[in-house]
Amino acid sequence: MPRELWKGAILFGLVQIPVSLYPAEQSEELSFTMLDRRDLQPVGYKRYNKGTGDEVPFDQIVKGYEMDDGRYVTLEKEDFKKANVEATQTVEIVGFVDGKEIAPYFFESPYFLAPGKHGEKGYALLREVLERTGKIAVANVVIRTRQHIAAVYAFDKYLILDTLRYANELRDPRELKVPDSLKDANVKPNELTMAERLIDDMAIKWDPTQFHDTYRDDLLEMIHEKAKGKTRELPKAKRSSEAEVIDFASLLEQSLKARRGGSAEAANDEDGDKGARREPRKRAAAKTTKRKAAASKGGTSHRRAA
């Protein structure tokens, strides 16, 4: 059970739903200690007074905000609540939007919401109405010392709060040079058709338990090898293709043939291909099952990149 970060209420019109906020993320990064290369002794982090050079005990450290004239105003934990008590204890819903309206790159960090004392009915009601309408609640919430705009949505039997990035925290993508259309990129109709088929052929059912950080496994394996005195040679970097013209049609056709056991009909019309696709799909599913079994033994799955 994660540690409760925050306790307050969801404000939904005149309705107040008592809730508690819990972190949804957990880090599985390997922990490294900074060492002095000369004698491999740990390198410590020392908090010291820049005026006197003396070390400062942790309980004597206070947050300070520097004013324009160089003076500092100190803030205690209570001061952050005093600024706006209600804001630090509420998820204030300001409106509802369709789930597809918020672009994925706005989502930042997920949190779990759990009903507080006497909050079960309101929690279930909000969860159900969000599920039925396909809406996402847009809300203001203060977590620690910062106010966030957040999305509250229903997933399974839970309410999830996901903090969102403010618009000014994202770069303007219009600075990038991208093709405006398929015609500008010289994409041919047969390339588009085969790309759609390949995506359809590679369709999977989303199961997050089948993915994890394999680089962490590889790094840990190398650490154990190094502990036993084994060393690895640094592999030569692979040169990226610099061809000016890439034959996408050929690459897509080869990919389809590989997926379908070398079927020579990979580029045919979809209508004439439906019957022939069933058996290769079974073989592809069998291969997927074998890969999953190998992944569970050797940890060869992949985790989503953030």
**pLDDT, tens digit, 9 for 90 and up, residues 105-139:** 999 999 999 999 999 999 999 999 999 999 999 99
Matching residue, tokens 């969860």: 127
Query: What is the number of residues in the chain?
Result: 306
User: Which stretches of the chain are assigned E, i.e. beta strand?
Assistant: 6-12, 15-23, 63-66, 72-75, 90-98, 107-115, 135-143, 146-155, 158-164
Q: What's the confidence (pLDDT) of residue 98?
A: 94
User: Which amino acid type is present at position 260?
Assistant: R
Low-confidence ranges of the chain (pLDDT < 70): 1, 84-88, 237-245, 262-306
H or E segment and range at residue 248 = helix 248-259
Distance CA 21, CA 218 (A): 35
Task: Give 266-283 as a 3 state SS string.
Answer: CCCCHHHHHHHHHHHHHH
pLDDT in tens, 59-85: 899 999 888 888 888 888 778 777 765
Q: What's the confidence (pLDDT) of residue 87?
A: 63
Q: What's the confidence (pLDDT) of residue 297?
A: 43
Domain assignments of the chain as residue spans, ordered by start: 6-28+82-169, 189-234+244-298
Q: Are 5 and 108 in contact (CB under 8 A)?
A: no
Residues 6+ apart with CB under 8 A from 165: 105, 106, 107, 108
Instruction: Compute the half-sphere exposure of residue 36: CA atoms within 13 Å on the CB side of its CA.
Output: 7
Q: Are 114 and 157 in contact (CB under 8 A)?
A: no
Q: What's the confidence (pLDDT) of residue 301?
A: 37
Q: Are 153 and 91 in contact (CB under 8 A)?
A: no
pTM given for the model: 0.65
Pairing of the two strands 6-12 and 90-98: parallel
Q: What's the confidence (pLDDT) of residue 1?
A: 65
Q: What's the confidence (pLDDT) of residue 295?
A: 43
Distance CA 163, CA 137 (A): 12
User: How many Cβ atoms are within 10 Å of 173's Cβ, its own excluded?
Assistant: 8
CATH code for the domain defined by 6-28+82-169: 2.40.290.10
Q: What's the confidence (pLDDT) of residue 161?
A: 96
- The pair of structure tokens assigned to 177 is 């040079």
Torsions phi, psi of 111, nearest 5? -135, 150
